[in-house]
Amino acid sequence: MATRKAVSPEDKQTEVTETIATLYTKSVERLADAQKTVLDMALQQNTEVIGAWKKIAKSVPDSPIPSILDLAGGMFGQFVDLQKDAIDLALEQSNALAGLAGERYDFIAKAGDTVKTIVQDTVQRAAAAQKNVIEFSATQTKTAFDTYKKQAGVAGTPAEAAADSIQRGFDTLIETQKEILNIASKRTA
Protein backbone atom coordinates (compact mmCIF):
# COMPACT_ATOMS: atom_id res chain seq x y z
CA MET A 1 0.00 0.00 0.00
CA ALA A 2 1.51 3.26 -1.14
CA THR A 3 1.48 6.23 1.14
CA ARG A 4 0.82 9.63 -0.25
CA LYS A 5 2.83 12.53 0.92
CA ALA A 6 0.65 15.39 2.00
CA VAL A 7 1.14 18.47 -0.11
CA SER A 8 0.31 21.79 1.45
CA PRO A 9 -2.00 24.22 -0.35
CA GLU A 10 0.91 26.67 -0.43
CA ASP A 11 3.12 24.12 -2.26
CA LYS A 12 0.32 23.40 -4.73
CA GLN A 13 -0.12 27.11 -5.37
CA THR A 14 3.62 27.55 -5.88
CA GLU A 15 3.68 24.67 -8.38
CA VAL A 16 0.72 26.11 -10.28
CA THR A 17 2.32 29.55 -10.30
CA GLU A 18 5.62 28.20 -11.59
CA THR A 19 3.86 26.20 -14.31
CA ILE A 20 1.92 29.24 -15.46
CA ALA A 21 5.01 31.46 -15.32
CA THR A 22 6.97 28.99 -17.45
CA LEU A 23 4.16 28.75 -20.00
CA TYR A 24 3.83 32.53 -20.07
CA THR A 25 7.58 33.03 -20.55
CA LYS A 26 7.78 30.54 -23.41
CA SER A 27 4.75 32.10 -25.09
CA VAL A 28 6.18 35.60 -24.85
CA GLU A 29 9.53 34.39 -26.21
CA ARG A 30 7.80 32.72 -29.17
CA LEU A 31 5.79 35.88 -29.86
CA ALA A 32 8.96 38.00 -29.70
CA ASP A 33 10.73 35.65 -32.11
CA ALA A 34 7.76 35.76 -34.48
CA GLN A 35 7.67 39.56 -34.39
CA LYS A 36 11.40 39.77 -35.07
CA THR A 37 11.03 37.34 -37.97
CA VAL A 38 8.27 39.48 -39.47
CA LEU A 39 10.46 42.58 -39.06
CA ASP A 40 13.37 40.78 -40.77
CA MET A 41 11.07 39.77 -43.64
CA ALA A 42 9.78 43.35 -43.96
CA LEU A 43 13.36 44.65 -44.01
CA GLN A 44 14.30 42.11 -46.69
CA GLN A 45 11.25 43.05 -48.76
CA ASN A 46 12.04 46.73 -48.35
CA THR A 47 15.63 46.13 -49.47
CA GLU A 48 14.44 44.25 -52.56
CA VAL A 49 11.87 46.93 -53.45
CA ILE A 50 14.44 49.70 -53.05
CA GLY A 51 16.89 47.73 -55.21
CA ALA A 52 14.27 47.37 -57.93
CA TRP A 53 13.37 51.05 -57.82
CA LYS A 54 17.03 52.00 -58.00
CA LYS A 55 17.35 49.98 -61.21
CA ILE A 56 14.28 51.74 -62.59
CA ALA A 57 15.66 55.13 -61.52
CA LYS A 58 18.76 54.63 -63.63
CA SER A 59 16.58 55.56 -66.61
CA VAL A 60 16.38 59.13 -65.29
CA PRO A 61 19.75 60.86 -65.82
CA ASP A 62 21.24 62.76 -62.88
CA SER A 63 18.34 61.66 -60.72
CA PRO A 64 18.54 61.90 -56.94
CA ILE A 65 16.16 58.94 -56.65
CA PRO A 66 18.90 56.47 -55.64
CA SER A 67 19.96 58.80 -52.83
CA ILE A 68 16.39 59.22 -51.66
CA LEU A 69 15.87 55.48 -51.78
CA ASP A 70 19.06 54.94 -49.78
CA LEU A 71 17.77 57.43 -47.21
CA ALA A 72 14.40 55.69 -47.02
CA GLY A 73 16.08 52.28 -46.75
CA GLY A 74 18.36 53.50 -43.97
CA MET A 75 15.46 54.98 -42.06
CA PHE A 76 13.48 51.78 -42.40
CA GLY A 77 16.49 49.78 -41.17
CA GLN A 78 16.74 52.07 -38.13
CA PHE A 79 13.02 51.66 -37.56
CA VAL A 80 13.35 47.86 -37.62
CA ASP A 81 16.25 48.04 -35.16
CA LEU A 82 14.17 50.26 -32.86
CA GLN A 83 11.27 47.83 -33.02
CA LYS A 84 13.55 44.89 -32.22
CA ASP A 85 14.98 46.78 -29.25
CA ALA A 86 11.46 47.46 -27.99
CA ILE A 87 10.63 43.76 -28.38
CA ASP A 88 13.76 42.84 -26.42
CA LEU A 89 12.79 45.29 -23.67
CA ALA A 90 9.30 43.82 -23.44
CA LEU A 91 10.80 40.32 -23.35
CA GLU A 92 13.17 41.28 -20.52
CA GLN A 93 10.31 42.76 -18.53
CA SER A 94 8.16 39.69 -19.10
CA ASN A 95 10.97 37.43 -17.94
CA ALA A 96 11.49 39.59 -14.86
CA LEU A 97 7.80 39.42 -14.00
CA ALA A 98 7.74 35.67 -14.54
CA GLY A 99 10.79 35.40 -12.28
CA LEU A 100 8.95 37.29 -9.58
CA ALA A 101 6.10 34.83 -9.86
CA GLY A 102 8.51 31.99 -9.31
CA GLU A 103 9.97 33.70 -6.26
CA ARG A 104 6.87 33.78 -4.22
CA TYR A 105 3.17 33.70 -5.00
CA ASP A 106 2.27 35.69 -1.88
CA PHE A 107 4.61 38.49 -2.89
CA ILE A 108 3.07 38.68 -6.35
CA ALA A 109 -0.44 38.70 -4.96
CA LYS A 110 0.40 41.64 -2.69
CA ALA A 111 2.51 43.49 -5.24
CA GLY A 112 0.28 42.71 -8.20
CA ASP A 113 -1.21 46.17 -8.47
CA THR A 114 2.20 47.81 -8.24
CA VAL A 115 3.67 45.51 -10.89
CA LYS A 116 0.65 46.06 -13.14
CA THR A 117 1.01 49.82 -12.84
CA ILE A 118 4.74 49.67 -13.59
CA VAL A 119 4.18 47.49 -16.64
CA GLN A 120 1.34 49.69 -17.91
CA ASP A 121 3.43 52.83 -17.51
CA THR A 122 6.42 51.23 -19.22
CA VAL A 123 4.38 49.97 -22.17
CA GLN A 124 2.63 53.29 -22.59
CA ARG A 125 5.92 55.22 -22.45
CA ALA A 126 7.56 52.84 -24.90
CA ALA A 127 4.58 53.11 -27.26
CA ALA A 128 4.64 56.91 -27.03
CA ALA A 129 8.38 56.98 -27.74
CA GLN A 130 7.96 54.67 -30.71
CA LYS A 131 5.10 56.78 -32.04
CA ASN A 132 7.35 59.86 -31.82
CA VAL A 133 10.07 58.07 -33.77
CA ILE A 134 7.52 56.90 -36.34
CA GLU A 135 6.15 60.43 -36.74
CA PHE A 136 9.65 61.86 -37.11
CA SER A 137 10.54 59.24 -39.71
CA ALA A 138 7.30 59.87 -41.60
CA THR A 139 7.91 63.62 -41.63
CA GLN A 140 11.49 63.22 -42.84
CA THR A 141 10.47 60.80 -45.57
CA LYS A 142 7.61 63.01 -46.76
CA THR A 143 9.95 66.01 -46.89
CA ALA A 144 12.51 64.06 -48.91
CA PHE A 145 9.94 62.83 -51.42
CA ASP A 146 8.26 66.24 -51.74
CA THR A 147 11.64 67.89 -52.32
CA TYR A 148 12.48 65.36 -54.99
CA LYS A 149 9.15 65.76 -56.78
CA LYS A 150 9.63 69.57 -56.94
CA GLN A 151 12.84 69.21 -58.93
CA ALA A 152 12.80 70.16 -62.58
CA GLY A 153 12.08 67.30 -64.95
CA VAL A 154 10.38 65.05 -62.40
CA ALA A 155 6.74 66.10 -62.72
CA GLY A 156 4.69 63.77 -64.89
CA THR A 157 7.49 61.21 -65.30
CA PRO A 158 7.68 57.59 -64.22
CA ALA A 159 10.10 58.76 -61.53
CA GLU A 160 7.37 60.88 -59.96
CA ALA A 161 4.95 57.96 -60.11
CA ALA A 162 7.60 55.75 -58.47
CA ALA A 163 8.18 58.31 -55.73
CA ASP A 164 4.43 58.55 -55.10
CA SER A 165 4.14 54.76 -54.97
CA ILE A 166 7.01 54.43 -52.50
CA GLN A 167 5.57 57.24 -50.37
CA ARG A 168 2.14 55.55 -50.24
CA GLY A 169 3.77 52.27 -49.21
CA PHE A 170 5.73 54.00 -46.50
CA ASP A 171 2.60 55.82 -45.28
CA THR A 172 0.76 52.50 -45.08
CA LEU A 173 3.61 50.98 -43.09
CA ILE A 174 3.58 53.94 -40.69
CA GLU A 175 -0.18 53.69 -40.14
CA THR A 176 0.09 49.95 -39.52
CA GLN A 177 2.83 50.44 -36.95
CA LYS A 178 0.78 53.13 -35.18
CA GLU A 179 -2.22 50.79 -35.04
CA ILE A 180 -0.08 47.99 -33.60
CA LEU A 181 1.23 50.35 -30.92
CA ASN A 182 -2.32 51.49 -30.11
CA ILE A 183 -3.46 47.88 -29.73
CA ALA A 184 -0.46 47.04 -27.54
CA SER A 185 -1.10 50.08 -25.34
CA LYS A 186 -4.79 49.23 -24.90
CA ARG A 187 -4.09 45.61 -23.95
CA THR A 188 -2.05 46.66 -20.95
CA ALA A 189 -4.66 49.07 -19.66
1 pLDDT band, cuts 50/70/90, is low
Q: Is pLDDT above 70 for 92? A: yes
Q: What is the pTM of this model?
A: 0.54
Structure confidence by residue, pLDDT tens digits, 42-86: 889 989 988 888 888 888 777 778 888 888 888 888 888 888 888
Q: Are 69 and 57 in contact (CB under 8 A)?
A: yes
Report pLDDT digits (tens) over 12-43.
666 777 787 788 888 888 888 888 888 899 88
Scored b (16 or more CB within 10 A) or e, 50-76 reads: beebbeebeebeebbbeebbeebbebb
